[in-house]
Amino acid sequence: MFRNLCVESSRRALIGISLVGFTPTLSILMTLLVIDGESSSQIFFILCKAWILFVPTYWFLCLEGNPLSWSLSDKNGIFEGVATGLAMSAVILLVWITLGDSIDTEPMVEQLQNTGLTGIEVYMAGMFYWIFLNSLLEEYVFRWFITVKGVELTGSELGGIVVSALMFTLHHALALHLFGFEWWQTGIACFGLISAAAIWSWLYMRHRSIWVCWISHAICDVAVFAIGYQLIFD
C-alpha cells in the first residue's frame, strides 16, 4: 500500500514537472526558430508564460486542495537573498570583463531583432519585465513547483534541487546556443546557470519562500541587463 502511494506520488510529480518544465524550452524554439514576425513571437511567448503560471496554480489550489499562501520571508531570508544576489552578480560581471571580448555579439543582436528588444523603449520595458516579473515567475515555477515536485519524484531535497536546476538550465542553454555562443562559452554559462539555480532552490528549501530566491534572482538580472544594454546600444 505504502509503495503504491509512493509510486503514484512520483508519477503525479513527473506529470507536473513535464507539463511546465519544458514549456520555456518550447517557447525558445518556437520564437527563435519557427515563428516569423515580432507580433507572433510575442503572442506565443505570452501564452507560454500564462501556461506556466496557470498549471502550478491550478495544481496547488484545485488538484491538491491547498489554501492560498504568500510564504513571506523573515529578515534572515531577505539578507541571504540580497547577499547571494550581489555575490553572483559580481561573478557575472567578472566573467564578462574577462571573456566578453571573445563573444561574437552580431548573431545575438540579429536574433533579438525578431523580438523587438533592439529598440530602446522595448528594451527598457523588457528589462523591467524580466527583473521584476519574469524572475518572480521563474522562482514560482522552478524554485517552488518544480523543486517540490522534484523532491516528491526523487525522494530527497538534493534530488529536487538537481531536477529543478537542470530544468532551469535547459532552456537558457538552448537560447545561448541559438544566440551564437561557442560551445565552451555555453558550457561556462551553463555552469553558472546551474550553480545559481541550485543556490536558489537551496534557498527555497531553507526558507520555504520564493521571495528570498526572487530577490537574489532579480539582482542578478540587473547585472545581465546592464551587459545587454552595453552590447546593443553602446
Of 115 and 84, the one with more pLDDT? 84
Look at residue 3 and tell me whether its pLDDT is greater than 60: no
What pLDDT, on the 0 to 100 scale, is given for residue 159? Answer: 97
Window from 7-21, 95-109, 153-167, 182-196 with minimum mean pLDDT: 95-109
Model confidence, pTM: 0.92
What pLDDT, on the 0 to 100 scale, is given for residue 38? Answer: 72
Q: What are phi and psi of 64, to 5 degrees?
A: -95, -15
C-alpha cell at 68: 492560498
Computed over every residue of the chain, the mean pLDDT equals 90
What pLDDT, on the 0 to 100 scale, is given for residue 194? Answer: 97
Length of the chain measured in residues: 234
Of 137 and 2, the one with more pLDDT? 137
Q: Cβ distance 108 to 177 under 8 Å?
A: no
> Domain count of the chain?
1
Look at residue 4 and tell me whether its pLDDT is greater than 60: no
Q: Which residue range is the domain that position 120 belongs to?
A: 2-66+74-233
Window from 1-10, 121-130, 202-211 with minimum mean pLDDT: 1-10
Question: Which residue in this structure is represented by grid cell 507580433?
Answer: 39
Of 148, 149, 147, 145, the C-alpha closest to 12 is 149
What pLDDT, on the 0 to 100 scale, is given for residue 151? Answer: 96
Q: Cβ distance 209 to 140 under 8 Å?
A: no
Query: Could you report the per-residue pLDDT of 41-100, keeping only the tens digit for each?
Result: 889 999 999 999 999 999 999 999 999 988 889 999 999 999 999 999 999 999 999 987
